Structure 1
Amino acid sequence: MRLKKLTAVIPIALTAALLTACGSGSDGAAAQAGGTLKFGGTVPDCADPHQRGNNPNSYALKPLADSLLAQNLKTGEYLPWLATKYEVSADAKDFTFTLRDDVTFSDGEKLDAQAVADNFDGIKKLGAAASLAIGYLNDYQRSEVVSPDKVVVHFSKPNIAFLQGTATGNLAIVAPKTSAQTAEERCAKGAIGSGPFVVTKYVPSETLTYKKRKDYAWGNPLAKNQGAAHLDGLEIVNIKDTAVLAGSLLSGQIDAYSVVLPQDASRIEGAGGKVLTTTNAGYPVALVPNVKGTVFSDPAVRQAVQIGFDRKAAIDGVIGDWFHASESALSTSTVGFKSQGDALSYQPDKARTLLDDAGWKVGAGGIREKDGKKLSFDVTWDSDWNATSSVLAIVKEQLKEIGVELTINLLPTGQAASVYDSGKFSARWVNGYTPEPDTLRAILSIDANNWLERAGREKLDDLLSDQLQAVDVTKRNGILAEIQKTVIDEGYLIPIYDWAQSFAVSSKVQGAKLAYLSGPGPLYADISLSK
């Protein structure tokens, strides 16, 4: 087979949008050895990166496993990590990786081609339990072990998105012992990886502590420190209430945390700490309407809601200024981003006209009605970030001005999935991070998760399939531009703002930076604590 090396093309917006810091991510101080970093957050209910690769679990699980490749934040270039090189067939069906020969997992087992093959086979067996990881393995056939240091991953159809997946924590490489376990065993016992830290104690949803691997010598190419971590250990301090995280940092109970509230940033910086921020790639914080049996079955309603609220006004002063109003169905830092800013501009008069023409007349209390049915919809989610409700409250008031009623349906953590499965909701409140634009296919395509609950195939589904098979970058970006225009014009995704990471550290934390293009979390091996 003919092979060629491919690299992703990253939009220019990355240079401006990524790696912004209220405080610099590099302080130049000499690293000091020792100490345990206490990170305030939620201890995952499952310590397996293949099953819990989402934010905020990524912060807690990144230390334990490494990936085949890394990705340069500014250029999008793929860099060798566990794999020394990679090759992609001309039809993007076959991916060849040559591996380092000096890597071991924390249980002493050696990294080889069979271990990599076992990982991908294991993810396929996990199925829906590995919801993010499995998305990169569409049309996966098998992994062929060519030699101890060479593996070829075969797909039945082109899957250019897979390459990007190998640079994420979702497809981080775990030990054969972990790959052989059931989903439940992996969750309860925690994965074994080749990362710079090893789990010393794990109680699901309660306790997670790490110690450094003293023999670690294959660091992330994005890190300055390629050897053993400066820290002796890490502790994930289980704090679920985001409102108390800043106080815990300022009082010295923790050293770092993520998801900073805007009113806390100045307090942290005033105490000598830093707040690092970067815009996440993927699809924005958005509403995905249910078009089956709700008011969103009417295209005019989706289109009116799309332009019936002011995105900038909904977030200004409510969430941190590191968040930005959305411009498309993909965030500005995502591969293939194409602005749809004009189509997302605030146009209340046009929204009213759309609804008038569709037969929705203003009724009691200013809310429109049609055929005895109120123009009302709920937004259902179970996020525990308390600013979400504040943003939606502003959107609610704005939509009321055009005669649309929005009901906020915040459920206890973990309960939204069952409601979504039942179909008894009007709109999901969602956000997804990955530099790979195929994420839109994963959530919207009728051949994938079909969050829209569409009944029949449309041109959009063919476009979503075509972009996954387009090897040529220019051709693919053209298809992605058409997808974004279609999704916005049809109101199939109603974006509000681009999600951004925020990582707060105390004054004694040195060397912290947000260097990942593929998801949240710092390079822990570079971090040190001043005495």
Structure 2
Amino acid sequence: MPARRHRLIPVLPVAAVAALLALTSCGSSSDGDATGAGQPGGTLRIAADADPGCLDPQQTGQLQTLDITRGLVDSLTDQDPKTGAIVPWLAQSWTISPDARKFTFTLRSGATFSDGTPVDGQAVKASFDRLSKLPPNGAPAYIKGYTGTTVTDATHVTVGFTQPNAQFLQATSTTGFGILSVATASKPLAARCRGQIIGSGPFVLKNYTPNRSATITKRAGYGWPSSRAVNKGQAHLDTVAFTFVAEDGARTGALRSGQADVGEAIQPSDQAQFTDGGSARLLLAAAPGLVPPLSLNHRGILADEKVRRALLIGVDRAALVSTVFNANYRPATSVLASTTPDYVNLADKLRFDPAQADRLLTEAGWVPGADGIRTNGGRRLSLTWLIPAPMPPADEAVQAQLRKRGVDLQLDAVPPAQYVARQSAGQFDLTAVAVTRADPDVLRNIFSTRGANLWHLTPSPLDGYLDAQAAATNPADRRTAVTNAVTWILDHADTVPLYEGSVVHGVSTKVRGLRLTASTQLDLHEASLG
């Protein structure tokens, strides 16, 4: 991705909010058109960068899925993207036990799913029960230790955990924790991926054609948006039409020509076209959480820590950002982005040192070959980089840098659905998984051996640090555990952080009220056409 990013963001402390707002003020509009709603009705045409492959937000955190399904499902809570505050949505209030093991929600009355059934305690229970049984990758990881949901009555539920789970409240604001109907919980997972989900959101799914398009339409009578919403009723737009356009230049061209109203994931080389006050502007937000990395499979060649360490210090991050990106991006200085709570600057551990990288590879038995690629016992130092199409230009730049160290990176770009399947099967040496969430608990989702463990790490003290930060109710204790975890990850080269990214979309000036949520997804409920 940029790596494909899972967007989950908890409460930001004041310092992180300030840093985030400083970044998002770069370029053109970062928070949509503030001139008010346009005319009701019409179709918003979005050129999306890829087919999501699955429309069930419980099963995938792919940003393409969440941009569509955020309009289909409501969550118990919402998060203010400017202050980080967690505010009411389907839940009008809540209490948390002192040990952060029980969360009691009082639901608002009157909300219904698109099939007419009520949004009640049984629906909350069914949603969370089903979520807890899914593989712990993405949203299911944040309900780990779930003991069940107790339904007191239609509007009161208590969610319990075996251990403190302080990050859970924020998780309830995300699309992956959106409340689905009781009927949805029992549907086959494959059917849900095809769009057979029933939510209570301001839109309903009209159709989904894989590798081509998805269309959502306004739900008549909707009237229970987030408490922070300006629009308290149904959506302004009649229809939102997503067309999947993998080629970067084609999305930019569609926006420039007026064939699309929104072009998603505008690449750095094209962003300047939309900063001149013309027919389109930029909608952008810095991305806290796990920075775009090289995610390393700890089997095969990369089981050798010396080889991993060579990759870690063999990438010139400053050169990468200056040649491929622009001011909306920064070289990574840690595993976490600098806008993430409890971030610590560990840039010294990421300092570019080509001579030391070469020494490490030689010590590991990899010596330069005739064509410059290192070999060991006749085996080339060739690594397969599994990439979800479309392939970002940064990947080729990283490939060129590491070739100078004698590493042959084979770039293997595949459709997102195939990417997920091959990643789950461990059919790669490297991938690039970034997770957008302004909470350090994102580390546990990616690096704990007690979860999905896609990178095949071996159990270590890191697991204890990750569990400790998730359970800590004292801020100082949590900060210490996070620092210990990030330090361990870099000291053992368990990943190769690359850069701090931004979500950047191009938006026609005739579009009004379109903003990004705290989780950097499109907020379509407020959008309209001028």
Counterpart among 139, 159, 177 of residue 165 in structure 2: 159
TM-superposed CA distance for 1:369, in Å, is: 4.3
Flag the 1:11–1:363 CA change in 2: closer, same or farther, 3 A. Answer: farther
1:506 pairs with 2:508? yes
- Shifted more, 28-37 versus 64-73: the winner is 28-37
2:486 corresponding residue in structure 1 = 484
2-side partners of 1:313 and 1:260: how far apart? Answer: 21
1:273 aligned to which of 280, 285, 295: 280
User: Is this contact kept in 2: 1:378–1:409, CA < 8 A?
Assistant: no
TM-score by length of 1: 0.90
For residues 158 and 402 of structure 1, the distance between their equivalents in structure 2, rounded to whole angstroms, comes to 45
Distance 1:327 1:478 in 2: 18
Instruction: Output the CA distance in 2 between the equivalents of 1:20 and 1:313.
Output: 24
Unaligned 5+ segments in structure 2 are 1-9
1:225 to partner: Cα distance: 1.9
Task: Map 1:380-529 onto structure 2 (within 5 A).
Answer: 380-386=385-391, 388=392, 390-454=393-457, 456-514=458-516, 516-518=517-519, 520-529=520-529
2:97 to 71, 84, 89: 89
Distance 1:289 1:46 in 2: 25
Q: CA deviation at 1:297?
A: 2.2
Q: Deviations over 1:106-145 (max 9, x none)?
A: 22222111111111112234x13x8422111111111000
Number of the residue aligned with 1:172: 178
Deviation at 1:475, TM superposition (A): 1.2
- Pair 246,392 (structure 1): closer, same or farther in 2 beyond 3 Å: closer
Structure 1 residues 177 and 21 mapped into 2: Cα distance closer, same or farther (>3 Å)? farther
Moved more, 206-215 or 115-124: 206-215
1:70 alignment partner in structure 2: 78
Structure 1 residues 320, 36: CA separation in 2 closer, same or farther (over 3 Å shift)? farther
Deviation at 1:352? 3.1
**Large movers: runs of 4+ above 6 Å:** none
Q: Provide the residue aligned with 1:4 in structure 2.
A: none
Are the aligned partners of 2:52 and 2:416 in contact in 1 as well (CA < 8 Å)?
Answer: no
Q: Write out aligned runs for 1:176-187 (5 A).
A: 176-187=182-193
Deviates more, 1:164-173 or 1:69-78: 69-78
Matched, 1:141 2:147: yes
Superposition pairs for residues 290-369 of structure 1, below 5 Å? Answer: 290-294=297-301, 296-358=302-364, 360-369=366-375
Per-residue Cα deviation, 1:59-81 (whole angstroms, up to 9, x for no partner): 11111111111122243221111
Q: Residue 288 of structure 2 contacts residue 336 of structure 2 at CA under 8 Å; is this kept in 1?
A: yes
**Alignment correspondent of 2:4:** none
The offset of 1:26, in angstroms, is 4.1
1:286 alignment partner in structure 2: 293
**Residues 55 and 85 of structure 1, relative CA distance in 2, 3 Å threshold:** same
Q: Partner residue of 1:23?
A: 28
SS of equivalent residue, structure 2 residue 522 = coil
Distance 1:356 1:245 in 2: 44
Alignment of 1:101 with 2:112, yes or no, is no
What residue is the counterpart of 1:3 in the other structure? none
- Post-superposition Cα deviations, 1:321-373, rounded to whole Å, max 9, x if no partner, equal 42222111112222322221121121223323444555544443344445555
Q: Which residue of 1 aligns with 2:238?
A: 232
* Contact 1:511–1:526 (CA under 8 A) maintained in structure 2: yes
**1:173-222 Cα shifts (integer Å, max 9, x gaps):** 11222223221232334322111112233444444322223422222234
Task: Give the Å deviation of 1:499.
Answer: 3.0
Alpha-carbon shift at residue 148 of structure 1 (Å): 1.6
Give, in whole Å, the separation in 1 of the partners of 2:274 and 2:84: 32
Q: Where do 5+ consecutive residues of structure 1 fail to align?
A: 1-6
CA RMSD of aligned residues (A): 2.4
Q: Distance in 1 between matches of 2:418 and 2:42?
A: 38
Is the Cα contact below 8 Å between 1:284 and 1:329 reproduced in 2?
Answer: yes
CA distance in 1, matches of 2:400, 2:247: 27
Cα distance, 1:320 vs structure 2: 4.7
Q: 1:201 to 1:425 in 2, by over 3 A?
A: closer
Instruction: Tell me the percent identity.
Output: 32
Instruction: Give the 3-state SS of the residue equivalent to 2:113 in structure 1.
Output: coil
Structure-1 separation of matches of 2:93 and 2:61: 24
Deviation at residue 421 of structure 1 after TM alignment: 4.5
Residue 140 and residue 263 in structure 1: after superposition, are their counterparts in 2 closer, same or farther (change >3 A)?
A: same
